[in-house]
Structure 1
Amino acid sequence: MSERDDPVIGVLLAGGLARRMGGGDKCLLELAGKPLLTHAIERLAPQTDALVLNANGDPARFAAFGLDVVPDPIAGYAGPLAGVLAGMEWARRNRPSARWIATAASDTPFFPRDYVARLLEAAQPHHPAIAMAASGGREHPVFSLWPVALIGDLRSALEAGTRKILDWTDRHTTVTVSFDMIDGPDGDVDPFFNANTPEDLERAQRIVEMPS
């Protein structure tokens, strides 16, 4: 974990339904001999000051990873924004000095190792702005830095039925940070590539097996 004067709490989002993988916990599928979740932890933990996992259901299935597991605080499957709120509420309870949380998908093994630092640099001058990652001309709303100061507004929006991330972020100052593509066996690969299907997982394996 990093140490800084302006701490950032990392939140790995694992609340999805994984329909295209046949259901279950996508992040527990293995890539290169270890769960996708382990790859995500190894990426995000060094960039943050504390790390939690947003997941619903029995938290015991994640016990081996040693993370606090925080469920969605909104009833029903409310999407990634509910995971953002769960992370903000954890930060308020456990690290009240933290002004930010940084979210990442738990099935994304290649996101940049300077992801948090670059978003923090972009967002700080505009606090309480949201900083969102982008690559290849596409925004990646799940990969964002969120001001904890927006916790009340987010809860109100979710309770009013807001579910799409951009529907909420469009109401607030948002800065976008673009990241370069990475090399893959068949050409450029989006660094925020995630394993949504068995074919995606096979592609990720080919990326891992590339010569360094």
Structure 2
Amino acid sequence: MKQPLGVILAGGQARRMGGGDKGLLPLGGARILDHVIERLDPQVAELALNANGDATRFSEFGLPVIADSIEGFAGPLAGVLAGLDWAAKKGADHIVTAAADTPFFPADLVPQLILAAETLGTPIALAATPDPKRGVARHPTFGLWPVALRDDLRAALSDGLRKVVLWTDRHGAGQALFPVAALDPFFNVNTAEDLALAEAYLKTGAA
């Protein structure tokens, strides 16, 4: 498999943070989105940002900004579809997505997702971590997605499907299991308390 393109999903409404773009919040002398870009950019062939509204608010990052093609807030799958359409125009076969509010995700996210898809023979691979209650917790905004399924996804969204795992389960998605040490690598910033915790992780070197 050739190196996929990367898409950062920043289309969320951030209701628990009072609205706005969580990725633009300050963290460790930068912004959350700076940390996400720093981790994902070396792992992919090209990088884009999925966001809606005025794209100029992200201009300083120097990334192409691709908006959802599905009207209304259709959730992460709409961002995945926007990324797949962008990748198709680039002649790419796959994208890997990452959430814009998750600054500590694994530096080997992409190779592990590719390895899982190839080993299991699945078209899609999602990141996952061990969970003491559920056994495994999937993180569906972190996934490897084939461009070949973009029309299938478009049809599903047009039919009203919004939950990521309902669509991925249709296609027998595989999982790449990542360890959890002192820090959950897929910890995301949803509240002011989460942001304070992320600052503490950075200061202690836990991240």
TM exceeding 0.5: yes
Letter in 2 for 1:146: W
Equivalent position to 2:203, from 161, 185, 209: 209
Partner of 1:99: 93
TM-superposition CA deviations, 1:126-176 (whole Å, max 9, x none): 666110100132110111101111011000000110000011111102111
CA distance in 2, matches of 1:24, 1:33: 19
Partner of 2:133: none
Q: CA deviation at 1:48?
A: 0.4
Letter in 1 for 2:140: P
CA distance in 2, matches of 1:73, 1:128: 26
CA distance in 1, matches of 2:7, 2:113: 15
Letter in 2 for 1:89: D
- TM-score normalised over the length of structure 1: 0.92
- TM-score normalised over the length of structure 2: 0.94
Where does 1:1-212 land on structure 2 (aligned, <5 Å)? Answer: 6-93=2-89, 95-96=90-91, 98-125=92-119, 129-136=123-130, 137-183=136-182, 189-211=183-205
Q: CA deviation at 1:194?
A: 0.4
Partner of 1:186: none
Letter in 1 for 2:154: R
Letter in 1 for 2:193: E
Q: Is the 8 A contact 1:134 1:177 kept in 2?
A: yes
Q: Is the 8 A contact 2:122 2:173 kept in 1?
A: no
Q: CA deviation at 1:122?
A: 1.4
Structure 1 gap segments, 5+ residues each: 184-188
CA distance in 1, matches of 2:126, 2:148: 17
Q: Is the 8 A contact 2:3 2:44 kept in 1?
A: yes
CA distance in 2, matches of 1:84, 1:124: 20
Q: Is the 8 A contact 2:125 2:174 kept in 1?
A: yes
**SS of the residue 1:107 aligns to:** coil
| Aligned-residue CA RMSD (Å) | 1.3
CA gap 1:171/1:30 in 2 versus in 1, 3 angstroms: same
CA distance in 1, matches of 2:155, 2:111: 29
Give me the identity figure in percent.
54
Letter in 2 for 1:190: D
Q: CA deviation at 1:99?
A: 1.3
TM-superposition CA deviations, 1:8-35 (whole Å, max 9, x none): 0100000000000000111100100111
CA gap 1:128/1:92 in 2 versus in 1, 3 angstroms: farther
Structure 2 gap segments, 5+ residues each: 131-135
CA distance in 2, matches of 1:28, 1:56: 14
CA distance in 2, matches of 1:11, 1:58: 18
Letter in 2 for 1:145: L
CA distance in 2, matches of 1:192, 1:201: 14
Q: How many residues of Structure 1 are paired with residues of Structure 2 in the alignment?
A: 201
Structure 1 runs of 4+ with >2 Å offset: 124-128
Q: CA deviation at 1:58?
A: 0.4
